[in-house]
């Protein structure tokens, strides 16, 4: 049976199978080699992620260890504590600690599984005012780019402390011309361009740890390898 | 753990996680309820599908039964036996028998699992000459719409014989204005419009047998159901 890559995160993961989404692109890329399994929970922060983790992943011994797990939280943790989405806020020190806990639960359960952290994306504050998710009587953005940057920096440093790879999406995305509109649809969620950046970064980081189409076995003979004069030979054994 | 829907078929299934693909749309639609598992094998016919079936699906007792399996073969079986893709051809009577075998293997293994047949799509013969997959010295299309129609009709009648639902894609798609170019990218594979038709038909047939977002449990509390004044209450138990 095929190995699995789980993608665990908030709405940016949950929505990643929409048109041009990075999760679907990952599943397409690995279409004959890996099952990409969606574990995205819109609105969730790392505190809530820890509450559901045991229910949404197999227990130890419950089948093969995943090849890899992407852990992509922080956009909700970084909601400001005194603005309209405060109930999703998680303090920075707890966010760091929660990421450590998530990583160590996975590492304990599946020591060989590659964990890949993804930092929250940058925030376009103007767009966050234009596309509110909840009532916003203060008229101030519930997320700021500066706060997202602090959580991204924490995410990157947790990865370094744990010796695991990380996509610093906050930094990468801001190098893209007109990133606010090109990469983000509502100041937080990803456009197709934003999704492409995530997909390409994830593929590259997986390749760096030895997980690529070249290194993974193909599930069943490829049509190009089947001998037209004796097709059934490919299916012997 | 979430229930699974397997999608089993040829290239039209394998490529269904590309941008706008019907498999990705299905995964997106069920993003909080079902794992959509890709089992697409480009170029395969029902004869080869039977050769790999035991290797690419769990054995009986190997975890929970899938909710549903889509079986979407016939486009390769219907290659003409005297044209350039003859090695993929499977005679019509054997195609019927192979579909019966696939269904009965699944039904024996998982009596409660819904099997949904999908017929091959119509063929645009002009486009098949413009976009050859192999050398075509005869200059005749390797697939014809008439042949695809005969396999589609067989698929529909097998479904009736087995008492299972079927998407008659060959018929449905030809009702679409300018279907040759609107629904097919190379006379066989699907455009985004073609993919949308498959997605909508599959969703409708699944709904008919009781599998819909309304009937399936949601994996973990939805953000809209979490009490902002006491979020952790949603995660008790």
Q: What is the pLDDT of residues A90-110, one digit of tens each?
A: 999 999 999 999 999 999 999
Instruction: Please state, as a whole number, how many other Cβ atoms lie within 10 Å of the Cβ of residue A152.
Output: 27
Residue A237: is its pLDDT beyond 90? Answer: no
Q: Sort out which chain B residues have CB atoms less than 8 A from A228's CB and list them.
A: 87
Rounded CA gap, B202 and B166, in Å? Answer: 9
What pLDDT does B212 receive?
98
Do A55 and B220 count as a contact with CB atoms less than 8 A apart? yes
Rounded CA gap, A76 and B225, in Å? Answer: 16
Q: Give the mean model confidence (pLDDT) for residues B107-116.
A: 96
For residue A72, what are the contacts with CB-CB under 8 A and spacing of at least 6?
A7, A8, A9, A10, A12, A13, A117, A118
Backbone φ, ψ for residue A72 (5° rounding): -130, 80
Is the distance from CB of A16 to CB of A22 less than 8 angstroms?
yes
Residue A176: is its pLDDT beyond 90? Answer: yes
The CATH classification number of A4-235 equals 3.40.50.1110
User: In this predicted model, what pLDDT tens digit does every residue of B184-210 receive, in sequence order?
Assistant: 999 999 999 999 999 999 999 999 999
**CA dihedral defined by A179, A181, A184, A185, rounded to 10 degrees?**
-170
User: In this predicted model, what pLDDT tens digit does every residue of B135-170 receive, in sequence order?
Assistant: 999 999 999 999 999 999 999 999 999 999 999 999
Rounded CA gap, A132 and A186, in Å? Answer: 9
The DSSP line for B116-182 is EEEPPPP--HHHHHHS-SS--TT-S-SS-HHHHHHHHHHHHHHHHHHT--EE-HHHHHHTSTTHHHH
Closest chain B residue to A50, measured at CA: B235
Across chain A, what does the average pLDDT equal?
Answer: 96
Rounded CA gap, B120 and B6, in Å? Answer: 18
Tokens coding B129: 């000459």
Q: Give the mean model confidence (pLDDT) for residues A187-202.
A: 98
Rounded CA gap, A162 and A174, in Å? Answer: 25
Closest CA–CA distance from residue B160 to any residue of chain A (Å) = 30
Do B28 and A35 count as a contact with CB atoms less than 8 A apart? no
Residue A200: is its pLDDT beyond 70? Answer: yes
Nearest to B24 by CA among A221, A29, A201, A203: A29
Is the distance from CB of B90 to CB of B46 less than 8 angstroms?
yes
Nearest Cβ partner of B56 from A41, A51, A220? Answer: A220
Q: Between A46-56 and A92-109, two packed helices, what is the crossing angle to 10 degrees?
A: 20
| Interface size, chain A vs chain B, as Cβ–Cβ contacts under 8 Å | 107
User: In this predicted model, what pLDDT tens digit does every residue of A31-63 receive, in sequence order?
Assistant: 999 999 999 999 999 999 999 999 999 987 767
Say whether B56 sits in a helix, a strand or coil. Answer: helix
Catalytic residues of A: 11, 186, 189
Q: Is B184 left (phi over 0), alpha (psi -120 to 50) or beta?
A: beta
The DSSP line for A121-171 is PP--HHHHHHS-SS--TT-S-SS-HHHHHHHHHHHHHHHHHHT--EE-HHH
User: In this predicted model, what pLDDT tens digit does every residue of A107-161 receive, in sequence order?
Assistant: 999 999 999 999 999 999 999 999 999 999 999 999 999 999 999 999 999 999 9
Nearest Cβ partner of A223 from B19, B42, B192? Answer: B42
For residue B104, what are the contacts with CB-CB under 8 A and spacing of at least 6?
none
Query: Residue A184's beta-bridge partner residues?
Result: A190
Do B14 and A32 count as a contact with CB atoms less than 8 A apart? yes
**CA dihedral defined by B128, B130, B134, B135, rounded to 10 degrees?**
120
> From the centroid of its chain, how far is CA A189?
13
Catalytic residues of B: 11, 186, 189
Q: Sort out which chain B residues have CB atoms less than 8 A from A52's CB and list them.
A: 220, 235
Q: Which of B6, B10, B26, B27 is the best substitution to test chain A (most A C-beta atoms within 10 A)?
A: B27
Closest CA–CA distance from residue B207 to any residue of chain A (Å) = 20
What pLDDT does A62 receive?
67
Tokens coding B95: 């195609």
User: In this predicted model, what pLDDT tens digit does every residue of A65-90 receive, in sequence order?
Assistant: 999 999 999 999 999 999 999 999 99
Q: Sort out which chain A residues have CB atoms less than 8 A from B19's CB and list them.
A: 19-20, 24, 192
CA distances from B55 to A2, A98, B8, B68, B138 (A): 10, 39, 13, 18, 37
ipTM: 0.97
> From the centroid of its chain, how far is CA A165?
12
Question: What is the pairing mode between strands A166-167 and B35-40?
Answer: unpaired
Nearest Cβ partner of A17 from B14, B31, B51? Answer: B31
Nearest Cβ partner of B48 from A23, A24, A235? Answer: A235
Closest CA–CA distance from residue B116 to any residue of chain A (Å) = 21
Q: Which of A7, A136, A220, A233 is the best substitution to test chain B (most B C-beta atoms within 10 A)?
A: A220
Say whether A109 sits in a helix, a strand or coil. Answer: helix
Residue B62: is its pLDDT beyond 70? Answer: no
Residue B64: is its pLDDT beyond 90? Answer: no
Q: Which of A12, A17, A75, A196 is the best substitution to test chain B (most B C-beta atoms within 10 A)?
A: A17
Closest CA–CA distance from residue A84 to any residue of chain B (Å) = 10
Nearest Cβ partner of A37 from B20, B21, B35? Answer: B35
Q: Sort out which chain B residues have CB atoms less than 8 A from A87's CB and list them.
A: 226, 228-229, 231
What pLDDT does A61 receive?
73
What pLDDT does B205 receive?
98
């Amino acid at each position: 049976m095929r190995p699995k890559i789980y993608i665990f995160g908030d709405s940016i993961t949950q929505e990643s199978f929409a048109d041009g989404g990075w999760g679907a692109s990952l599943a397409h890329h690995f279409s004959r080699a890996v099952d990409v399994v969606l574990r995205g929970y819109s609105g969730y922060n790392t505190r809530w992620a820890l509450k559901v983790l045991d229910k949404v992943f197999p227990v130890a011994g419950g089948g093969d260890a995943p090849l890899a797990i992407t852990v992509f939280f922080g956009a909700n943790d970084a909601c400001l504590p005194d603005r309209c989405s405060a109930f999703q806020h998680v303090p920075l020190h707890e966010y760091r600690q929660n990421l450590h806990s998530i990583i160590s639960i996975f590492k304990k359960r599946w020591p060989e599984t590659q964990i890949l952290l993804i930092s929250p994306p940058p925030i376009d504050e103007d767009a966050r005012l234009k596309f509110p998710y909840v009532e916003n009587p203060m008229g101030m953005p519930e997320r700021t780019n500066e706060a997202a940057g602090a959580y991204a920096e924490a995410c990157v440093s947790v990865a370094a402390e744990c010796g695991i790879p990380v996509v610093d999406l906050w930094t990468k995305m801001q190098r893209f011309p007109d990133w606010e509109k090109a990469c983000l649809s509502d100041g937080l969620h990803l456009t197709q361009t934003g999704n492409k950046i995530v997909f390409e970064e994830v593929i590259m980081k997986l390749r760096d740890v030895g997980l690529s189409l070249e290194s993974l076995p193909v599930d069943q003979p490829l049509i190009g390898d089947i001998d037209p004069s004796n097709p059934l030979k490919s299916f012997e054994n």
